[in-house]
């Protein structure tokens, strides 16, 4: 079958080397199962993607797109008998249009590379998942990635104006390239297929070009406010209080002691703390108004019982703290397998959710370290499991399911920014009304009647 697929695609190298295939067959979600693909290709143009999708459709070979493989839900994991479509070589920034504050990019462009390129034009692309040094815009679009600054500046979907995508079904033969959305900041010409594709994890078609809205670069260095707390729940109370007062920092991040220690042991950034939890806030309102916000936030931290709370006057210290936040996930991964949660709850429920996580950890005897975009109510408890210990693995899985249920019961969702992929398929079914799941499945079936694009993921059966 792969032999004949190769014949169909004369100019494209079909990778069948087992080691390379294995490395291209999974993302960064250690617990998610990966299938055995028949091959992989590295596309470079929309036309190649078109030809690949058409050839796969003719042979009913499923297509799973991938970028850098930094996903945390298994959304890019290969499926048995499918083709892996690696888009990481489609890494050209096609256009930066400062007059309209727009960029047009291929899906394989790395988030930080785009940031650097637009900065040269005095522009800023805000979405900043912790994976920004490695993750691609295509992957960010596939999962509707969030990050630190979405508290104030929104998530990936808020920046996608238009998409080029290779689709099938009602659009015509599989392999048809279409343009969705527009280049204008407003537009209501028909249904919002762009928003439908963003976050759909490659299940509706293959995105080959992305038109992004940009913002003017920020002029002043942001202010940092740090608070240290005796418990993660106390830190959660400070988060809820800050929302209640209408404070809108750029970022409001929580790191517990286990995460801080893991980073320090790895990177020696000079972080030392006796606190059980730190809150890191960034404020980018310029001038006196920004100073007022910083003061108000420090007061909120103190009123919520912080050991201490202060505005960092040392730029290096502030940078080290945010670096620690970004490195927390890989630092924990170094210590062994991690099962990553991505629950998101209404902000007032953050303390209750944090308490519930601690209870689950105690009940199941598992170690859970927590990092969180706390200001958004988006928490990432990281459940650790020693390799080879089956009982520990089962306990971790039980805690994982319990945390999903708790989030739903608090009015939240099982995934704030990582996507459903494979790991949250059960949680999704628990969260959504059956009628809504049916609507989503019907949309998938309509736009991809062959179930060719990333089958089994998100709402797949």
Residues from 103 through 122 that contact a copy of itself (CB under 8 A): 122
Which residues 216-235 are close enough to bind a copy of itself by CB under 8 A? 216-217
Q: Which of 101, 148, 278, 339 binds a copy of itself (CB under 8 A)?
A: 101
Residue 84 token pair: 């892996």
> Closest separation between CB of residue 450 and a copy of itself, Å?
14
Closer to a copy of itself at the Cβ: 24 or 343? 343
CA distance 369 to 161: 37
Q: Which stretch binds a copy of itself (CB under 8 A): 7-15, 96-104, 112-120, 313-321?
A: 96-104
Residue 451: C-alpha distances to residues 82, 175, 190 (Å):
12, 14, 25
Applying CB under 8 A, does 352 fall inside the site for a copy of itself? no
Give the tokens for residue 444: 């998938």
CB of 219 to a copy of itself, least distance (A): 8
Map the footprint of a copy of itself across residues 19-78, applying CB under 8 A.
Answer: none
CA dihedral 68, 342, 379, 373 (to 10 degrees): 40
CB atoms within 10 A of CB 103: 26
> Can residue 426 be called a binding residue for a copy of itself (CB under 8 A)?
no
Strand partners, 85: 41, 65
CB of 217 to a copy of itself, least distance (A): 7
* 361 lies in the binding site for a copy of itself (CB under 8 A): no
Q: List the one residue from 198, 275, 277, 306 that touches a copy of itself (CB under 8 A).
A: 198
Residue environment code for 391-419, b if the CB has 16+ CB neighbours within 10 A, otherwise e: ebbebbbebbebbbbbbbebebbbbbbbb
With CB under 8 A as the rule, give the number of residues binding a copy of itself.
97
Identify which range of 130-138, 164-172, 222-230, 395-403 contacts a copy of itself by CB under 8 A: 164-172
Query: E strands, 331-452, where?
Result: 338-340, 343-344, 367-373, 378-384
- Position 345 contacts a copy of itself (CB under 8 A): yes
From the list 43-51, 253-261, 332-340, 344-352, the region that binds a copy of itself by CB under 8 A is 344-352
| Nearest approach, Cβ of residue 102 and a copy of itself (Å) | 7
In the complex, the smallest distance separating the C-beta of residue 70 from a copy of itself, rounded to whole angstroms, is 15
Shortest gap between Cβ of 147 and a copy of itself (angstroms)? 10
For a copy of itself, the closer of residues 240 and 392 by Cβ is 240
Residue 420 contacts a copy of itself per CB under 8 A: yes
Query: Using CB under 8 A, which of 89, 405, 445, 450 touches a copy of itself?
Result: 445
CA distance linking residue 76 with residue 74, whole number of Å: 5
Q: In the 8-state DSSP scheme, what is residue 230? A: S
Binding mask 383-402 for a copy of itself (x = CB under 8 A): --------------------
Token pair of 234 as six digits:
């106390």
Residue 178 binds a copy of itself (CB under 8 A):
yes
The one among 190, 274, 390, 461 contacting a copy of itself by CB under 8 A: 190
> 3-class SS at 438?
helix
DSSP letters spanning 119-151: HTTTEE-----TTTTT-BHHHHHHHT---STHH
Residue whose token pair is 């040392």: 314
Asked whether position 440 contacts a copy of itself by CB under 8 A, the answer is yes
CB of 88 to a copy of itself, least distance (A): 22
Taking the complex as a whole, how short is the minimal distance between the CB of residue 307 and a copy of itself, in angstroms?
25
Burial class, 270, CB count within 10 angstroms (exposed 0-12 / middle 13-18 / buried 19+): exposed
359-384 in b/e burial notation, b at 16+ Cβ within 10 A?
A: ebbeebebbbbbbbbbbbbbbbbbbb
Task: Give the span between the Cα atoms of 143 and 66, in whole angstroms.
Answer: 11
- To the nearest whole angstrom, how small is the minimum distance from the Cβ of residue 266 to a copy of itself? 28
């Amino acid at each position: 079958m792969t032999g004949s697929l190769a014949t169909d695609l004369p100019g494209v190298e079909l990778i069948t080397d087992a080691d390379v295939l294995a490395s291209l067959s999974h993302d960064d979600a250690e617990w998610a199962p990966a299938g055995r693909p028949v091959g992989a290709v590295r596309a470079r143009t929309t036309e190649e993607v078109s030809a690949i999708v058409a050839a796969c459709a003719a042979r009913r070979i499923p297509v799973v797109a991938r970028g850098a493989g930094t996903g945390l839900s298994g959304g890019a994991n290969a499926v048995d008998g499918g083709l892996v479509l690696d888009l990481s070589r489609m890494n050209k920034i096609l256009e930066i249009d400062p007059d309209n504050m727009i960029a047009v990019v291929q899906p394989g462009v790395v988030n930080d590379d785009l940031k650097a390129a637009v900065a040269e034009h005095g522009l800023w692309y805000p979405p900043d998942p912790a994976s920004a040094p490695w993750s691609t815009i295509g992957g960010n679009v596939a999962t509707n990635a969030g990050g630190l600054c979405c508290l104030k500046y929104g998530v990936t979907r808020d920046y996608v104006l238009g998409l080029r995508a290779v689709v099938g079904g009602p659009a015509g033969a599989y392999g048809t390239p279409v343009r969705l959305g527009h280049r204008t900041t407003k537009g209501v010409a028909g249904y919002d297929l762009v928003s439908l594709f963003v976050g759909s994890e490659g299940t509706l078609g293959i995105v080959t070009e992305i038109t992004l809205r940009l913002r003017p670069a920020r002029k002043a260095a942001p202010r940092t406010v740090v608070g240290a707390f005796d418990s993660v729940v106390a830190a959660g109370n400070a988060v809820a209080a800050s929302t209640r007062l209408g404070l809108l920092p750029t970022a409001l991040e929580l790191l517990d002691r286990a995460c801080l220690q893991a980073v320090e042991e790895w990177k020696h950034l000079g972080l030392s703390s006796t606190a059980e939890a730190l809150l890191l806030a960034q404020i980018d309102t310029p001038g006196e108004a920004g100073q007022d916000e910083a003061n108000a936030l420090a007061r909120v931290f103190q009123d919520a019982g912080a050991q201490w709370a202060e505005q960092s006057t040392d730029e290096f210290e502030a940078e080290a703290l945010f670096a620690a936040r970004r490195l927390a996930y890989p630092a924990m991964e170094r210590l062994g397998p991690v099962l990553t949660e991505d629950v998101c709850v209404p902000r007032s429920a953050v303390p209750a959710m944090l308490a519930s996580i601690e209870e689950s950890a105690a009940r199941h005897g598992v170690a859970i370290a927590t990092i969180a975009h706390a200001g958004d109510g988006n928490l990432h408890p990281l459940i650790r499991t020693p390799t080879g210990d089956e009982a520990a693995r089962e306990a971790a899985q039980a805690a994982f399911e319990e945390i999903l249920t708790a989030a739903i019961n608090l009015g939240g969702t099982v995934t704030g920014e990582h996507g459903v992929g494979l790991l949250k398929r059960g949680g999704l079914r628990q969260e959504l009304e059956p009628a809504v799941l049916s609507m989503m499945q019907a949309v998938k079936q309509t736009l991809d009647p062959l179930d060719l694009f990333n089958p089994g993921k998100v709402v797949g059966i």
